[in-house]
Structure 1
Amino acid sequence: MKVAIVGDVLHSRVARSNVLLLHKLGAIVTLVAPPTLLPVGVESWPVEIAFGLDLVVAKSDVVMMLRIQRERMADLFFPSEREYSRQFGLNGDRLKMMQPTALVMHPGPMNRGLEISADSADSLQSVIVEQVANGVSVRMAVLYLLLGGSPLSAENSKVLSDKVVI
């Protein structure tokens, strides 16, 4: 499985944990971002790096967009929102380049029109609503277990694993 994680990797809490988990599960992960939005030392992560979405969108099984944190725009991590969207945003044209079975993901909240267009976020390939809903449930379950709750039985665990998109 090939997963492209696109956007503000530098400030993302989602990116690093997803890279590590996806790599452990055997996925080939590509980070797609301008150099200014990649963390120092990223070359030691188990990833490939691309500096444009067009380079990877057609060959990815999953395209996970990350939120651009507009509050950091004053720090000039990229020239303008328009330029960022042109090079790294998932829009209708790029959605058409994707494999028909490829999935669009975004952990939320999203800036429609910046990192992802409305038609991409609402497309049939999008699992964003499910991803966000399941993310809340997964975090609740992890907190429950960390606070001393009982783990699920094997039977209940199997039912959940067949339905969860993280």
Structure 2
Amino acid sequence: MATAIRVQERSLLGLKELSRTEIEGILQRASYWDKQEYKLIPVLQSRFVSNMFFENSTRTRFSFEMAEKRLGAQVLNFAAAASSVEKGESIYDTVRTLESMGIDAGVVRLKPAGVLQQLAEKVRVPLINAGDGNNEHPTQALLDMYTMQKTFGEIKGLQVSIIGDIMHSRVARSNLWGLTKMGASVRFCAPDNMRAPELDGEARYVDIDEALKADVVMMLRVQLERHASGMLKSAEEYRRQFGLTEERAARLGSRTVIMHPAPVNRNVEIDDAVVESAKSLIFPQMENGVPVRMAVLERALL
């Protein structure tokens, strides 16, 4: 059995505590997997990985599952909606149960922030963060950085604007930590009631016109359910003030690219015609998620 320190080193809980050297190593290994001709290279054929999703995300789970199967791992998918967690079993007990059954690593997605760190300190298998609350989503940021690296050659020196609901965005946080360490400059753009006070001083806020003057314009998904709480006046009003409309997209610089963690609310944060425009990297981002997650899984298990 690996030591507790070794297990924690192989876990990926976030990018805030990860060094630039470690990030570079993951991106380099992702490039290796990206270039492989064969879809199945079973380096993890004797390993069991459980995807433990206590919060729904079909796209992220499928990306992890594709990465796991391409590496030859045995995959156990766990959905909280069809489990004993709905009957009152704790997240901790569920993870410990799967650990006791013999999994070698766990991919975990959950709503409450901070719980994953507590789990990682108690279990004896590496854990990979697939999104925890409004804390971090490290593999999303890694695939975003990998996409930028493939597009521009390097990340250092890039100007990146992140636009949308910063307060509730784990994607914004992981990208902030990762991109800053890699030498990029990050700016935020958000409605006043969607700013994150705890990030003051980490990145400056600019208006939408200034935000569009960047190498990368990263739009965040608007959680339309916030309309019910009054945080979002209406989807139409948000689009008018902060959406990447066709008119705004036409003003982007010649080398500017558009990114989005998906799924996209078309005609809200991005106009339908812009989603699949020549400047959009939204679908390449999804494609790049598989080799990036292959690199993360390999790091956890080999």
**TM-score in terms of structure 1 length:** 0.81
CA distance in 2, matches of 1:106, 1:49: 19
Deviation of residue 135 (structure 1)?
2.1
Counterpart in 1 of 2:278?
124
1:164 aligns to what?
A: none
CA distance in 1, matches of 2:266, 2:281: 15
Separation in structure 1 between the aligned mates of residue 292 and residue 231 of structure 2, nearest angstrom: 32
For residue 291 of structure 2, the aligned residue among 113, 137, 147 is 137
**What do the CA deviations read for 1:142-164 (whole angstroms, capped 9, x no partner)?**
13321x22xxxxxxxxxxxxxxx
On the 8 A contact 2:224/2:232 being kept in 1, the answer is no
Please give the residue correspondences for 1:49-64 in structure 2 after superposition, counting only pairs within 5 Å.
49-50=205-206, 52-57=207-212, 59-64=213-218
Q: CA-atom RMSD, angstroms?
A: 1.4
Partner secondary structure for residue 258 of structure 2: strand
Residue number in structure 2 paired with 1:111: 265
Q: Report the Cα distance in structure 2 between the residues aligned to 1:143 and 1:35, rounded to whole angstroms.
A: 38
Find the aligned partners of 1:123 and 1:12 in 2 and give their Cα distance: 25
List per-residue Cα deviations over 1:84-130 (Å, max 9, x = no partner).
Answer: 11111001111111101110000101100000011111110111101
Q: Quick one: distance in 2 between partners of 1:25 and 1:64? A: 17
CA displacement 1:42-72 (0-9 Å, x = unmatched): 2132x1212x312321x21110011001122
In the alignment, which residue of structure 2 is the partner of 1:29? 186
Partner Cα distance (2:173, 2:293) in 1: 16
Contact 2:211/2:217, CA 8 A, preserved across alignment:
no
C-alpha change, 1:143 and 1:75, in structure 2 (3 Å) is farther
Flag structure 2 segments of 5+ consecutive residues without an equivalent: 1-157
Of residues 134, 156, 161, the one that matches 1:4 is 161
Aligned mate of 1:74, from 228, 243, 247: 228
Structure 1 runs not aligned, ≥5 long: 150-166
Corresponding residue for 2:252? 98
Alignment correspondent of 1:152: none
Q: Is the 8 A contact 2:162 2:186 kept in 1?
A: yes
Quote the Cα distance in structure 2 between the aligned partners of 1:77 and 1:6: 16
The 4+ residue runs of structure 1 with deviation greater than 6 A are none
Please give the secondary structure, in 1, of the residue aligned with 2:205: strand
Instruction: Give the secondary-structure state (helix, strand or coil) at the position aligned to 2:217.
Output: strand
Are positions 1:48 and 2:204 aligned together?
yes
AA paired with 1:55?
Answer: E
Asked if the contact 1:34/1:78 (under 8 Å) is kept, the reply is no
What's the CA shift for 1:25?
A: 1.5
Name the % identity: 43
